[in-house]
Amino acid sequence: MFNGGHVYSHASNNDAIDSNGIITVNGGVVLASGTNAPEEGFDCDNNRFVVNGGILMGTGSANSSVTSSSQPYASVSSVTVSQGKYLTVKNSSGNVMFSYRCPNTVNSATVLLSSPEFTLSSHTLMYGVTSVSGVSESYFNGAFTIGGTATGGSSKSFTPSTR
């Protein structure tokens, strides 16, 4: 259970966060970077995965499915995750919400996202972003930032939902 704080889990050959049971995120910033198939960012073996708050980002060949959420979330598949490049999330107005500098490369990744700032409208996930500047907050030695401007990369639209 994650109730606050900042958690960054990076796996080099397996799942990043593997509970073999229940995962509950109530707040904080939780980043989970898994690796290529069959490994996941968040793995709870298809048990309960609850998202009630906080910023959540999981990368890997897959992520367990959210089973209950009071906060909007999205799962975006077929994303190129490249070591040293950023994943950046923009809101429906086109403003950078947050960015994450990926610690490893994952072929055809699935990215699980949630934020208290998400609305049930279209957002954008940028991937392969080469630089992020002018950020308002920075964590984990700059691996996770809030706000700013993102340069380069490709993008996919997604619409968060609740469950």
Cα–Cα distance for residue pair 160/41, rounded to 1 Å = 18
State what percent of residues in the chain have pLDDT above 70. 100
pLDDT of residue 163: 87
Whether the per-residue pLDDT at 46 is higher than 80: the answer is no
Q: Which of 157, 7, 9, 10 is nearest to 83 (CA)?
A: 10
Are the C-beta atoms of residues 35 and 104 closer than 8 Å to each other?
A: yes
Cα–Cα distance for residue pair 79/107, rounded to 1 Å = 8
Whether the per-residue pLDDT at 39 is higher than 80: the answer is yes
Mean pLDDT of the chain: 95
pLDDT of residue 22: 93
* Of 46 and 154, the one with more pLDDT: 154
Q: Token digits for 140?
A: 């984990």
Whether the per-residue pLDDT at 54 is higher than 90: the answer is yes
For residues 43-67, give the mean pLDDT: 94
| pLDDT band at 45; cut points 50, 70, 90 | confident
Q: What is the pLDDT of residues 88-146, one digit of tens each?
A: 999 999 999 999 999 999 989 999 999 999 999 999 999 999 999 999 999 999 999 99
pLDDT of residue 24: 96
